[in-house]
Structure 1
Amino acid sequence: MSFETAFTPLQSLGGGALIGAAAVLLMAGLGRIMGATGVLAGVLQRPGGADWSWRAALLLGMICGPAVFMALTGQMPQITVPVSLPMLIVGGFIVGVGVTFASGCTSGHGVCGMARLSPRSIVATLTFMATTAITVYVIRHAIGG
């Protein structure tokens, strides 16, 4: 199996700008940090809680992204997942464990925490990035994926 990473600078810039704008608007409007796993946990753990509605709206916006893309371009985004369902489940479990140990996810630490110069977020983001680089190297070169 061969993996190819597409070079999409404009789409990446647009996506990053939208994530950044959402994080800034959430912080400016509600004083809350936009970490995707924290938002999801709040919806699942506290249904009907005081901050449930904005969390649900944010998650709904994330889920509706492909429909917005289709409305703007006339086609659904092409998504290719080059691994099996069991590998996706294992990967999801590993990410869940990492999020638990890091007290947050890449969006919370990498976008919001880094912007606030949080030492914990800087360490967490460096750890995420180093682990990602090692994983890609092992998958693509050491075991020949």
Structure 2
Amino acid sequence: MESFSPLSAALGGSLIGLAAAVLWLGNGRIAGISGIFGHLLPPVQSAVWRLVFLVALVLAAFVAAKLFPQLGVGGVEPPRLVEAPAAWGIPTPIWLGIAGLLIGVGTRIGNGCTSGHGVCGLARLSVRSLVAVVVFFGVAIITVTVTGVV
């Protein structure tokens, strides 16, 4: 957290909110990434906007990183993936694969992900989203406390 900047956080949060509002007002859809991505396969008739949204999401992040490198992670070392705890004896690629599968299962069980519930659901005053966000944050706090990884 030594490179936290309120300006870049506010700018990023505003852009996420703007993107969610534009998708909702322009297409009547919620900007939940797991739902958008999860309905790409098998292709449905609404796959085009989903693909455009996801490609634009990745491209915008790439362009922003190239145009404004000072808004990135910062520090001397280039950013890298977190490694699996050495004491657990699990190789990092397997650790990341298990984590990805658990995230996928969790978003399916929870009917959405942090972007869908946290950004769009709370904006719609959804009680289900409020409960989901409280659980997300609670589990995150417990995870950081147990693993010590921030």
Q: TM-score range by the shorter chain?
A: 0.7 to 0.9
> Does 2:81 align with 1:81?
yes
Task: Please report the TM-score for the alignment, with normalisation by the length of structure 2.
Answer: 0.80
Aligned-partner Cα distance in 2 for 1:87–1:73 = 32
Q: Map 1:87-106 onto structure 2 (within 5 A).
A: 87-106=95-114
Q: 1:60 aligns with which of 51, 55, 60?
A: 55
Q: 2:128 aligns with which of 88, 100, 120?
A: 120
Residue 71 of structure 1: CA displacement? 4.3
The alignment yields a C-alpha RMSD, in angstroms, of 2.3
Question: Unpaired segments of 5 or more residues in structure 1?
Answer: none
Corresponding residue of 2:137: 129
Aligned-partner Cα distance in 2 for 1:108–1:116 = 11
Percentage of matched positions with identical amino acids: 38
Query: Is the alpha carbon distance of 1:104 and 1:5 closer, same or farther for their aligned partners in structure 2, counting shifts above 3 Å?
Result: farther
Query: Is the alpha carbon distance of 1:41 and 1:88 closer, same or farther for their aligned partners in structure 2, counting shifts above 3 Å?
Result: same
Q: Secondary structure at the match of 2:40?
A: helix
| 1:63-107 deviation per Cα after TM superposition (whole angstroms, max 9, x unaligned) | 2134312442379x5532122222211211121121111011000
Question: Unpaired segments of 5 or more residues in structure 2?
Answer: 73-77, 84-91
Task: Please report the TM-score for the alignment, with normalisation by the length of structure 1.
Answer: 0.83
Residue 24 of structure 1: CA displacement? 0.2
Query: Is the alpha carbon distance of 1:31 and 1:99 closer, same or farther for their aligned partners in structure 2, counting shifts above 3 Å?
Result: same
Aligned-partner Cα distance in 1 for 2:143–2:34 = 22
Residue 127 of structure 1: CA displacement? 0.4
Aligned-partner Cα distance in 1 for 2:140–2:21 = 26
Aligned-partner Cα distance in 2 for 1:124–1:74 = 33
Query: Is the alpha carbon distance of 1:93 and 1:74 closer, same or farther for their aligned partners in structure 2, counting shifts above 3 Å?
Result: closer
Aligned-partner Cα distance in 1 for 2:69–2:109 = 41
Residue 5 of structure 1: CA displacement? 6.1
